[in-house]
Structure 1
Amino acid sequence: MKHCIIIGGGIIGLSCAYFLHKSGHQVTVIDQSKMDGGASYVNAGYLAPSHMIPLSAPGVMKQGIKWMFDRKSPLYIKPRLNSDLIKWSWAFNKSCNASHVERVIPIMREIAVMGRDLYDQIKQEEGFDFQLEKKGLFMLCQTEQTLHHELELVEIAHKEGLVARGVSAAEVQQMMPDTTLDIVGATYFECDHHTTPGAFMNELKTYLVNAGVVIRQEEKVVDLGVKNGEITFVKTDKEQLKADEYVLAAGSWASMLSRKLNIPLLLQAGKGYRIETTRPTGITYPSILAEAKIAITPMSGCTRFAGTMEIAGINQRINTQRVDAIAEGVQRYFPEVSVTPEEKAQAASGLRPVSPDGMPYIGKSTKCKNLTIATGHAMMGWSLGPSTGKLVQEVIDEVTPSMDMALFHPDRKF
């Protein structure tokens, strides 16, 4: 048995804690927040093997430059002279090519299917009560051009063994009869599931505490002691702690600590937003508005609208223009669904750690023997939480991992 300290208490950190505890280790989780908000709580709740295509796909950088001048655009990169952003942007641009996408699709599909199935396994084994529905996911399209592109993605899904198909606007309307849609057609990924994130996070925290995992919230790691390529202690703003193994699962903040170990993780914080309504919407299936890049999820007690990727440094300020863009986008596809000023005023944001190639960093750097890194999941953090936790446990236990982890290596070059 080892004592493992996990830095970060979001979905990635708690998933690592779960699997390390199940493997017999003593576990401590440290998080600087109250652990009741941020990306792990405000995401769309999708368990989405359909999302195999990385953010760094052909044409994205070119489109991103155009969107730089539109604060309501789906992807907004705030122009600023910052060396980390310049390095990240250069690496991101290099990754935006077809051969990269082709290489990562099978591995992203594998880790996403693994994550989806582990949510189900945890629910069954622990008797959790969180919402987990296997209703699939629609990609709703308002133009024939977008529909054509989405149908190409269905073909890719078929090659990867996923269940998906094109559907007519009439069929979507028939499946959601209590709302009105303005679309030309859609694709339907039956392979995807959805959840209510806050419910799962709360159940998982309760389980871990009852199991003896120590959770230290509102405590910030401010320094690391290092000797002969190993971490000897972590220093927080409250005290100094020692362990045998350390896990860096601090999301968008991870690169601040990795620098202390001379591990230059290229990461940018991608801010996403969510709005909720408890009023009836008639939207009964998870749906992504393809052109607007907005996700809609029917959750326990509400309908959640989530979206945008705002790369503007580490801050959690609410940009009302982007909240407005989500509300306006929803009404374009669902003319009878409107978001009230009061609902927009309650919008929340979360920061997702984005790597330049759209792949997470999972594994040990050659620069530190007793540190395992688990960050950089971008928009897939919720989908990949349990699978990342399982892989981290396998790395620390030095057993053969459940899948090939080469493309996740923290030392990879861009």
Structure 2
Amino acid sequence: MAKHIIIIGGGIVGVSCAYFLHKAGHQVTIIDQSKMSDGASYINAGYMSPSHLIPLAAPGVMKQGIKWMFNKKSPLYIKPRLNADFLKWSLAFNKSCNQNHVHRSISVMREMAVMGRDLYHQIKKEEGFSFHIEKKGLLMLCQTEKALYHEDELVQIASKEGLQAKTIMAQEVQKMMPETVLDIVGASYFECDHHSTPGEFMEEIKSYLLREGVVIRQEEKVLDITTAGSKITSVHTDKEVLTADEFVLAAGSWTSTLSRKLNINLLLQAGKGYRIQTKTATGITYPAILAEAKVAITPMNGFTRFAGTMEIAGINHTINKTRVEAIAQGVNKYFPEVHITEQEKEAAACGLRPVSADGMPYIGKSAKCDNLTIATGHAMMGWTLGPSTGKLVQEIIDNKTSSVVLDMLHPDRKF
């Protein structure tokens, strides 16, 4: 039976939910507080990465994060602060950084990532979209033998999960990109990964949704949520009061603020990431992550994008020039002939990624609210997992068998 569904949040997860719910015959409205033209869904590295099997909460991550607190250029920065939500999240995140959690997460991450990657291609084919997407894999470039050894371990894990991956030496990488100079000892090569130009997909799917009758309310902020019993009856924005049969909360880093109005306490922190880009020829023709520097490089449609850092310092969009400089220096260290200009650094942008307390998304219905489905907490995997999350949300609302076992993603899970 067709329902009226309100989706709060218009990033990659929100528009993906709208797409699949509309295709299933529902009447859909998206509400987003922004102009839906910037943020994490637009400034990310554009990867569809089944290779990213290991959740952010992994052994040693919190320990490394504490060490990096004193390094302003570190890839991961966790700003200490006396805030109850942050402290609860920190304790739970630290507790999740164990091998058992990683082992349990791998198959779920693989299934969702492969599904998400393939759905981008399916959407492009079915709707006749023209957005840029390529099947060139992903290189993890290493400057040290230690990093290469670690990457080889990940290659073995990926291979056991049925993904195409191998370890290659510097000479082979140089042959793949003969028009640039590399300073590396080798790389892991995940042939299973694809990449895209995010802004193109976002603009194309928004246009499609509008043509199909989906209502998109931009620059409209949800202020309150009214309930009766265990159901939402309406949402109050800064412009109007809206009613619906079902609601989807996909507001990224802002989701926990709204969920608290329903007494649903999601452990969630905003993780800021930065991007720089250049239209100057770089010779970089394959997506690559600089293993030690934690910088992602993507050859997009007409430009090269450099993205990096995970800065957990609350919800803010302040550009930290020191961290932007660290990205630029990291690129030059691996690619000595690639120089990012001052103008390009000045034009850097940032976006906030919602990070759960175990690095796994929150997808599902809380026991506290019958007609709400939550979809957030994807950390750095939002772009990869956006379409698969949208499909899973549609299956949940339509009471269909889920394409992925959702136990590890339940929003009421304990830490």
- The TM-score normalised by the length of structure 2 is 0.99
Partner of 2:406: 405
After TM superposition, give the deviation of residue 399 of structure 1 in Å.
Answer: 0.9
CA distance in 1: counterparts of 2:109 and 2:257, whole angstroms: 26
Query: Is 1:208 aligned with 2:209?
Result: yes
Q: What amino acid maps onto 2:60 in structure 1? A: G
Query: Is 1:311 aligned with 2:312?
Result: yes
Partner of 1:124: 125
Query: Is 1:224 aligned with 2:210?
Result: no
Partner of 2:268: 267
After TM superposition, give the deviation of residue 204 of structure 1 in Å.
Answer: 0.3
After TM superposition, give the deviation of residue 6 of structure 1 in Å.
Answer: 0.1
Partner of 1:6: 7
CA distance in 1: counterparts of 2:286 and 2:331, whole angstroms: 14
Where does structure 1 differ by over 2 angstroms across 4 or more consecutive aligned residues? Answer: none
Partner of 1:173: 174
CA distance in 2: counterparts of 1:55 and 1:363, whole angstroms: 20
CA distance in 2: counterparts of 1:91 and 1:121, whole angstroms: 37
CA distance in 1: counterparts of 2:409 and 2:310, whole angstroms: 22
Q: What amino acid maps onto 1:222 in structure 2? A: L
Partner of 2:336: 335
Partner of 1:297: 298
Instruction: After superposition, give the CA deviation of every residue in 1:137-158 in whole Å (9 maximum; x if it has no partner).
Output: 0000000000000000000001
After TM superposition, give the deviation of residue 378 of structure 1 in Å.
Answer: 0.3
Partner of 1:393: 394
What is the 5 A alignment of 1:45-124?
45-124=46-125
The SS at the match of 1:202 is helix
The SS at the match of 1:282 is coil
> What CA RMSD, in Å, does the superposition of the two structures yield over aligned residues?
0.4
The SS at the match of 1:359 is coil
After TM superposition, give the deviation of residue 79 of structure 1 in Å.
Answer: 1.5
After TM superposition, give the deviation of residue 287 of structure 1 in Å.
Answer: 0.2
What is the 5 A alignment of 1:133-148?
133-148=134-149
After TM superposition, give the deviation of residue 203 of structure 1 in Å.
Answer: 0.1
The SS at the match of 1:383 is helix
CA distance in 2: counterparts of 1:360 and 1:186, whole angstroms: 29
CA distance in 2: counterparts of 1:99 and 1:106, whole angstroms: 13
Consecutive unaligned residues in structure 1, runs of 5 or more: none
CA distance in 2: counterparts of 1:316 and 1:125, whole angstroms: 36
Q: How many residues align?
A: 414
After TM superposition, give the deviation of residue 54 of structure 1 in Å.
Answer: 0.6
Q: What amino acid maps onto 1:192 in structure 2? A: D
After TM superposition, give the deviation of residue 403 of structure 1 in Å.
Answer: 1.4
CA distance in 2: counterparts of 1:149 and 1:179, whole angstroms: 25
The SS at the match of 1:254 is helix
Instruction: After superposition, give the CA deviation of every residue in 1:44-97 in whole Å (9 maximum; x if it has no partner).
Output: 000000001011110111100000111110000112111111000000000000
What is the 5 A alignment of 1:225-264?
225-264=226-265
Consecutive unaligned residues in structure 2, runs of 5 or more: none
The SS at the match of 2:74 is coil
After TM superposition, give the deviation of residue 168 of structure 1 in Å.
Answer: 0.7
Query: Is 1:353 aligned with 2:354?
Result: yes
Q: What amino acid maps onto 2:90 in structure 1? A: S
Query: Is 1:37 aligned with 2:38?
Result: yes
The SS at the match of 1:90 is helix
Q: What amino acid maps onto 2:346 in structure 1? A: A
Partner of 2:372: 371
Partner of 1:285: 286
CA distance in 2: counterparts of 1:38 and 1:68, whole angstroms: 25
After TM superposition, give the deviation of residue 356 of structure 1 in Å.
Answer: 1.1
Identity of aligned residues (%): 74
Instruction: After superposition, give the CA deviation of every residue in 1:270-318 in whole Å (9 maximum; x if it has no partner).
Output: 0000000000000000000000000000000100000000000000110
Instruction: After superposition, give the CA deviation of every residue in 1:307-361 in whole Å (9 maximum; x if it has no partner).
Output: 0000000001100000000000000000000100000000000000000111000
CA distance in 1: counterparts of 2:220 and 2:408, whole angstroms: 32
CA distance in 2: counterparts of 1:293 and 1:356, whole angstroms: 21
The SS at the match of 1:183 is coil
After TM superposition, give the deviation of residue 116 of structure 1 in Å.
Answer: 0.3
Instruction: After superposition, give the CA deviation of every residue in 1:249-287 in whole Å (9 maximum; x if it has no partner).
Output: 000000000000000000000000000000000000000
After TM superposition, give the deviation of residue 364 of structure 1 in Å.
Answer: 0.2
When structure 1 is superposed on structure 2, of 79-88 and 39-48 the one drifting more is: 79-88
CA distance in 2: counterparts of 1:262 and 1:130, whole angstroms: 40
Q: What amino acid maps onto 1:174 in structure 2? A: K
The SS at the match of 2:299 is strand
After TM superposition, give the deviation of residue 233 of structure 1 in Å.
Answer: 0.1
CA distance in 1: counterparts of 2:72 and 2:264, whole angstroms: 33
CA distance in 2: counterparts of 1:51 and 1:340, whole angstroms: 30
Instruction: After superposition, give the CA deviation of every residue in 1:2-57 in whole Å (9 maximum; x if it has no partner).
Output: 00000000000000000000000000000000000000000000000000101111
Q: What amino acid maps onto 1:102 in structure 2? A: H
Instruction: After superposition, give the CA deviation of every residue in 1:100-141 in whole Å (9 maximum; x if it has no partner).
Output: 100100110000000000000000000100011000000000
CA distance in 2: counterparts of 1:260 and 1:348, whole angstroms: 31
CA distance in 2: counterparts of 1:84 and 1:338, whole angstroms: 40
CA distance in 2: counterparts of 1:404 and 1:100, whole angstroms: 16
CA distance in 2: counterparts of 1:164 and 1:72, whole angstroms: 30
